Structure 1
Amino acid sequence: MMRACVAAAVVMLAGCASAPPEHFYSLSSGMGVVQAPAVRAAYYIELPAVTVPQQVARNQLVVTTGTGRVDLLELERWASLPASEIGQALSLTISGELGTIDVFRSPVPDKAPVYRISTNVQRFESAPGQYALIDAVWSVRLVGSTQVLTCRSVAQETVGAGYDELVAGHRRAVARIGGDISRAVKALAAGANSGC
């Protein structure tokens, strides 16, 4: 009996030791070094929480594997929830391109212009070896103004095999959307009639 218990314990420990490791991915890592403005920014941005579709609002990667079929990958995970990952990556991209600061939940100098950017991700699709897609509706408004610019950006990136490639494709998609938003903020700050 004792020998059987010891053998069972050894098998269990061997199974634990050979369990595949979890992998964690981030959309904001690898976005490049953002240089802080040397002087006070002419204006600031404020990027509140991003919203994402409920089916992808989880740490596990959710991938499309066939027509209408999705798989939840237990061992391939986001470092934080996708809404947070997208928000952080957008903040880094936009503030870096504009040479400004994201002051969400931070005090700002009196009378400083702040552009609020709201982002609603309507589709966040991951098809390994095929594409990474982000479809987002976003708006920009000068805080204190009633005028709002609302636009839609769809960024689809072709990706190679593997989850690293898939995540890199999502990073490129976020960077493209961040570029669209940055151009709109820059135009609004210059007093131009910005369109989508």
Structure 2
Amino acid sequence: MRRISAPLAVVAVLLLGSACSRSPRVTFYTLTPATPAAAVQNTFSSAVAVGPVTIPELVNRPQLVVRVAPNRVAVLESHRWAEPLKNEIPRLLAQDLGPLLGSSRVYAYDQVSAAAAQYRVLVDIVRLESVPGESVTLGANWVVRGAGNARREGRAEIREQVTGSEYEAVAAAFSRALAALSAQITKSLLERR
């Protein structure tokens, strides 16, 4: 019996040791709205609803996804978005569009009903990728819908440099890319008037 109990004791010690080990620390990231360069006069009085926003399934997950080779990505288990990008991006675009339009009536689609908004901005993000230490790329198509069947379409491919080697720099570059997208959508909205 002693021969059997010795190996069992070793297994028990190993299991106990692995149960007491610490799991890797998880870091959470958020997107941040742009700081407007200058105050804009309140020129856009119509309500605007932003969304829904679609994103590629590749990045539609809690983990950060980074490109490590032309045909390979890494899903970073210990680096995660604080909330789903499908929820955070429309809210960020609305926060960026408001100051650019000089309006306090710009909302994410889940904050106002489509019927209450005179304009609706639908965004299809077709590319959202990052190469740490290099750049992020945002490719997007959008449609601005107004009263009746009025609509204006746009397309953008935006690249932002990642300034730093930490993943926080990747999140900051995504925020800048989304701010640049907001500036282009603003032009479409102002042309609709």
1:154-174 CA distance string (max 9 Å, x none): 110011311011111100000
Q: What is the aligned counterpart of 1:95 among 79, 84, 98?
A: 98
Report Cα offsets for 1:102-158 as digits up to 9, x if no partner: 3435369x9x8711100000000111111111100001121x321211110111001
SS of match in other structure, 2:130: strand
Structure 1 position 84 matched with structure 2 position 87:
yes
Any residues of structure 2 matched to 1:5-84 within 5 Å, and which? 7-8=13-14, 11-16=17-22, 19-27=23-31, 29=32, 31-32=34-35, 42-84=45-87
1:168 is aligned to 172
Mapped contact 2:33–2:179 kept (Cα < 8 A) = no
Extract unaligned runs of 5+ from structure 1. 190-196
Distance in 2 of aligned mates of 1:113 and 1:130:
39
Partner of 2:145: 141
1:55-82 CA distance string (max 9 Å, x none): 1111111110012101111111111222
Secondary structure at the residue paired with 1:43?
coil
- 1:166 is matched by which residue type in structure 2? V
Aligned length, in residue pairs: 180
Query: What stretches of structure 1 move > 6 A for 4+ residues in a row?
Result: none
Between Structure 1 and Structure 2, whose CA radius of gyration is higher? 2
The 1:107/1:68 distance shift into structure 2, 3 A limit, reads: closer
Q: Confirm or deny: 8 A CA contact 2:34 2:176 kept in the other structure.
A: no
> Normalization by structure 1: what TM-score?
0.79
Instruction: Tell me the secondary structure at the aligned position of residue 106 of structure 1.
Output: coil
Q: Is the 8 A contact 2:121 2:145 kept in 1?
A: yes
The answer on whether the counterparts of 2:160 and 2:177 sit within 8 Å (CA) in structure 1 is yes
The root-mean-square deviation of aligned C-alpha atoms, in Å, is: 3.0
Name the aligned partner's letter for residue 54 of structure 2. T
Instruction: Give the TM-score taking structure 2 as reference length.
Output: 0.80
Equivalent position SS for 1:132:
strand
SS in structure 2 at match of 1:48? strand
Aligned residues of 2:125 and 2:138 also touching (Cα < 8 A): yes
Unaligned runs of 5+ in 2: none
